[in-house]
Structure 1
Amino acid sequence: MRDVEQTIGNLIDSQNTSFLGSVGEDGFPGVKAMLPPRKREGIRTFYFTTNTSSRRVADYRRDPKACVYFVDRRFFRGVMLQGAMEVLEDASSKEMIWEEGDTLYYPLGVADPDYCVLRFTALRGRFYRDFSSEDFAVAE
């Protein structure tokens, strides 16, 4: 891959679904389909919205190990990023990614106690395309 950040960034930006993985309390992995990240900083840091009461939030609070997967079904290629997930509940993080219409999910608005932000920080990745795969480190 000539330009890892551009290649992976373009793939991520063209998808409408993200898959987030966590380690459950029983030690087994679990995956959940979610909306794409609300914000990303390169291919290292991603911000998602979710319910504070969700199973994933409980998993990440107990064990921050996480992965995020993006797939381009049309060209059968994808990227898995591995790293750590943080649960953010401070007002500035919540306001940073709040969008009009979010009251559909969080009726009490940006201060809804069931609204939180997940910040994923990638450490490494694996890119799949053309029936082969390639590992890469994510630069800080």
Structure 2
Amino acid sequence: MMRDPVKTIGNLIDKQKTAYISSIDKDGYPNTKAMLAPRKREGIQVFYFTSNTSSMRAAQYRENPKACIYFCDRRFFRGVMLRGTMEVLEDAESKEMIWQEGDTMYYPLGVTDPDYCVLKFTAEDGRYYSNFKSEDFTV
């Protein structure tokens, strides 16, 4: 059993360059996509990602906010899945909060680009895998 889930899982997440996010499509099937690591996290409960407002994923989250995110440490064969909800944020404060220099490569009109949005994931629970064992936890 993990002594400190926030520390153990937070350390795993911070070392990953890729996150896998899942949404539910109109037919009820999960859709998973690799993304750049979250721009910001609050403990192991709230995560912020950049995305395109016009993306299929943003449309799916607007239709059904149920989501999960997954982080995998391939070197040590560990991983964590977090289940919760995803919000599509388009307000200036959220967009400015995670904007980084160089983002104009993806959003040429800058932080106010109408095709730039923030995906805010809020976890409810999760499952951690390490040493050939899995462990459920609440957030």
Q: TM-score, normalised by structure 1?
A: 0.98
Which aligned pairs between 1:85-124 and structure 2 lie closer than 5 A?
85-124=86-125
Report the equivalent of 2:136: 135
Unaligned runs of 5+ in 1: none
Q: Which amino acid aligns with 1:134?
A: E
Counterpart Cα distance in 2 of 1:18 and 1:89: 21
Q: Which amino acid aligns with 2:129?
A: Y
* Count of residue pairs the alignment pairs up: 138
Q: Which amino acid aligns with 1:107?
A: P
What is the deviation of 1:25? Answer: 1.0
Counterpart Cα distance in 1 of 2:88 and 2:126: 21
Task: Give me the CA root mean square deviation.
Answer: 0.4
Moved over 4 A (4+): none
Q: Which amino acid aligns with 2:16?
A: Q
What is the deviation of 1:40? Answer: 0.2
Q: Which amino acid aligns with 2:33?
A: K
Q: TM-score, normalised by structure 2?
A: 0.99
State percent identity of aligned pairs.
Answer: 71
What is the deviation of 1:132? Answer: 1.0
Unaligned runs of 5+ in 2: none
Counterpart Cα distance in 1 of 2:8 and 2:133: 16
